[in-house]
Amino acid sequence: MSDLAKLAGVSKATVSRALSGSELINPATREKIQALAKQYNYRLNTQARNFRLKESLTITVIIPSAESAKWQISDPFFLELLGSISVCLMEKGHEMLLSAVDFHLPDKTSGLSKINSDGIIVIGQSYIHKGLNEYARSHPQLVVWGARMEDQDYCCVGGDNLRGGLLATQHLIERGCKHIAIIGDREVPEGNLRYQGYLRALQDAGIERNPALEISIGSQKNEGYDATLLLLSRGVKFDGIFLLSDALAMASISALDEHGIAVPKDVAIVGYDDISLARYYTPSITSVHQDREIGGRLLVEKLLQLIDGQEVESFTMPTNLVVRKSSKKTTQATVTQHPADNRE
Amino acid sequence: MSDLAKLAGVSKATVSRALSGSELINPATREKIQALAKQYNYRLNTQARNFRLKESLTITVIIPSAESAKWQISDPFFLELLGSISVCLMEKGHEMLLSAVDFHLPDKTSGLSKINSDGIIVIGQSYIHKGLNEYARSHPQLVVWGARMEDQDYCCVGGDNLRGGLLATQHLIERGCKHIAIIGDREVPEGNLRYQGYLRALQDAGIERNPALEISIGSQKNEGYDATLLLLSRGVKFDGIFLLSDALAMASISALDEHGIAVPKDVAIVGYDDISLARYYTPSITSVHQDREIGGRLLVEKLLQLIDGQEVESFTMPTNLVVRKSSKKTTQATVTQHPADNRE
DNA sequence: TTGAAAGCGCTAACAA
DNA sequence: TTGTTAGCGCTTTCAA
């Protein structure tokens, strides 16, 4: 920069002002300097600038990774949300630092405090709601995609999971299902709310809950597959399954298919998230839609407001069901399998 | 830091040395200072440190975004590779800056030079091979996932696309297919090589190439769907399709299914990449496997060597076919559709 | 083994 | 409108 200053015959300060497009500078000088900068292919040292300004223009996005397969970034929906966040951040002139954190590790949120950026977006509360609460008290520059909780000290954006679970289950009931299984991770707040919606729908319809139809697992595809096999092995009747994510739904359909059980003929399937592939699966998957574009935008905007020192409210996005083939009504049938293997 | 120095009754320099675990310091002093730092929850200012050291410990990963849907980060395989890269980078103590760039834009690679990090990993050459070459000449801290090219001035890691295309097509031929369509993006180097493999397999088997069976499109799911409809509308006979990615394969199967064409009974399908979902699609998808874990690790290691000033060679990873149901032999059948709509 | 001091490249008071 | 100057928080010579 001092070189450039010499070349232009002005001081460093003037160059700095010219390059940052300051108001209080002679337009002629500014253009001269900018031309010179371009000519010599000079670029501001962002590190120095950020250091000086005590800002990084960088946002850290944390996405939970799957414990079992660390190199595999979790849920496709989160990835699609990530795409939306990435675009918004870019529009606002921020960089995106991506960090896949395994929240199953003992230290859990301890990694958060090592982060050095203007703000943090956590995609999915995972198992760390309390940790987030604690962290947020000292570092308010945090927004989280997830479920609204009673005791929530951080800003949270997410879908209406209770309603989503309700819609999904009601749909299966309306479609004629009497024995509706539910498979997914109920340990995480979002999953739990979807489960509550499921319970409520059953209750509203006067259907008694059957614990043998409920399986709480992680969110990996193989777990969806295995859980479906487990369900089959229980020998309990079921004619519909509500899966707490589309990835699980796909794996489940795959498992059913391998056992000669047809979807939707024998069993109706409803997933969650309406990931882009849901429409292109065979059969296409009925799913609870969450708008990732709006979601990502909201997360970014709220975080930026937070960084700006503004007060910010959490937001729950409306949610709707997209009906596709996997739950289409056909000639009814109910599956019973291997009543032998009847452990838990 | 100066506060900490006062507390410890030493100079800033000593604190700095203690915290960086320098050799030339009294172990007693070091431990005292480290204890103090922990007690007061003091952390080094990374920005200042990086600025001083002229390093960022940050690697930028560039992943091409789909032109049509900017918020949707492209191919699932790239995402899985990204996961692997992320883990390796973390292991090596680097941060990962993620940038989704639309290489269809007119400026194309111009964005690269604005990047301010220790090195760049580009996932997929996309349409910018020349731009990468040019960039690499002045900025050698660059590795690219993609295809080996004759004139390549950058370090490149990727699968053996020619062989992959060959294996996929040979498999379809062995399985009895006589009329093998190919759908995918041949504009990008990787796609083109896979296509060359396809051509060679046909040639080896003495099957004449039929341009009506070839469709070059982008890599979005809807394009795979549309391309399949286009193929059907051409009214040309086909009993197998080689799709240049698994995402396309899924969309294609979906399109066929909607037209009452069964996979693999009527048409055999082979995809590419062996993404984790391939095994859980219905039917499960035969696909050319590329090891994302090793791939990611290689990319990171080579980049770090490059940053370290070492000479680095490009590497082509071995490639193999994973056979699943989508290409399983059944009672043979050949589809002909709508010979009416025979334009193009 | 430790301290004093310089300086990384930039911005922003303050002065001119 | 521009220049002078100080200083962000750290590391690292060099000297003690």
Chain B residues with CB inside 8 Å of A284's CB?
A: 254
- Here the tokens at position A226 are 């295995």
Q: Looking at the domain covering B52-159+291-319, what would its CATH class be?
A: alpha beta
Is any Cβ of chain B less than 8 angstroms from the Cβ of A57? no
For position B1, what pLDDT does the model report?
A: 80
pLDDT of the residue at A344: 31
CATH of B2-44, one of 1.10.260.40, 3.10.20.30, 3.40.980.10, 3.30.2010.10: 1.10.260.40
The whole-angstrom distance between residue B95's C-alpha and the CA centroid of its chain comes to 19
Residue B57: closest CA among B89, B83, B16, B98:
B89
A7 C-beta less than 7 Å away from strand D: no
Return the number of other C-beta atoms located less than 10 Å from residue A101's C-beta. Answer: 20
The pLDDT-based confidence of A110 (bands split at 50, 70, 90) is low
Nearest chain A residue to B253 by CA distance is: A282
Domains A52-159+291-319 and A161-290+323-327 share a fold: yes
When CB atoms are compared, the residue of B95, B100, B284 closest to A86 is: B100
The predicted model scores a pTM of 0.91
As a whole number of angstroms, the distance between CA B312 and CA B297 comes to 14
pLDDT of residue A341: 37
| Chain B residues 13-42, Cβ below 7 A from strand C | 13-14, 17, 24-30
Among the residue ranges A330-344, B215-229, B254-268, the one predicted with the least confidence is A330-344
- Residue for token digits 């995972």? A126
Q: Is the pLDDT of residue B66 over 70?
A: no
Query: Is B98 at the interface with chain A, CB within 8 A?
Result: yes
Indicate yes or no: CB of B98 within 8 angstroms of CB of A99. Answer: no
Choice among B35-39, B48-52, B92-96, B336-340 with the minimum mean pLDDT:
B336-340
Q: How far is the CA of A122 from the C1' of C12 (A)?
A: 35
Which segment of A259-273, B74-88, B276-290 scores lowest on mean pLDDT?
B74-88
Residue B4: pLDDT band with limits 50, 70, 90:
confident
C-alpha to C-alpha distance for B216 and B227, rounded to whole angstroms: 8
What per-residue confidence (pLDDT) applies to B65?
74
- What was the pLDDT predicted at B2? 81
Q: Does A250 touch chain B (CB under 8 A)?
A: yes
CB A141, CB A128: distance < 8 Å: no
**Confidence class for position A338, pLDDT limits 50, 70, 90:** very low
A100-109, A235-244, A268-277, B110-119: segment of lowest average pLDDT: A100-109
Q: What is the CATH number of domain A161-290+323-327?
A: 3.40.50.2300
Given a cut of 70, is residue B318 above it in pLDDT? yes
Q: Is the pLDDT of residue A70 over 90?
A: no
Binary contact (A284, B254; C-beta < 8 A): yes
pLDDT (0 to 100) of residue A64: 80
Name residue B218's amino acid.
Answer: G
pLDDT of A103 > 80? The answer is no
Domain boundaries, chain A: 2-44, 52-159+291-319, 161-290+323-327
Give the Cβ contact number of residue A314 at 10 Å. 16
Question: Are the beta carbons of A85 and A120 closer than 8 angstroms?
Answer: no
Nearest to B47 among A43, A97, A116 (CB): A116
Peptide bond into A264 cis (omega under 30): yes
Q: Is the CB of B51 under 7 A from strand D?
A: yes
pLDDT score recorded for residue A252: 98
Q: What is residue A116's predicted lDDT score, i.e. its pLDDT?
A: 85
3-state DSSP: chain B helix, strand, coil percent, rounded to 5?
45, 15, 40
Which residue of chain B comes nearest to A253, CA vs CA? Answer: B282
In this prediction, residue A108 carries a pLDDT of 64
- The one-letter amino acid code at B207 reads I
Q: What is the pLDDT of residues B189-239, one digit of tens each?
A: 999 999 999 999 999 999 999 999 999 998 888 889 999 999 999 999 999
Q: Does A70 sit within 8 Å of B279, measured CB to CB?
A: no
Range with the poorest average pLDDT among A40-49, A63-72, A172-181, B186-195? A63-72
Q: Which nucleotide is nearest to B29 (CA to C1')?
A: C1
Q: Residues A47-64: what's their mean pLDDT? A: 92
> Judging by DSSP bridges, how do beta strands A286-289 and A320-322 pair with one another?
antiparallel
| Contacting residues 41-60/A vs strand D (CB within 7 A) | 51-52, 54
Q: What is the mean pLDDT of residues B37-42?
A: 90
> Which positions on strand C lie below 7 Å from a protein C-beta?
1-5, 7-13
B166-178 pLDDT tens trace: 999 999 999 999 9
What was the pLDDT predicted at A340? 39
Contact, B100 vs B75, CB < 8 A? Answer: no
What's the confidence (pLDDT) of residue A343?
A: 34
Structure tokens at A180: 């509706």
Cβ contact, residue pair B221, A83, below 8 Å: no
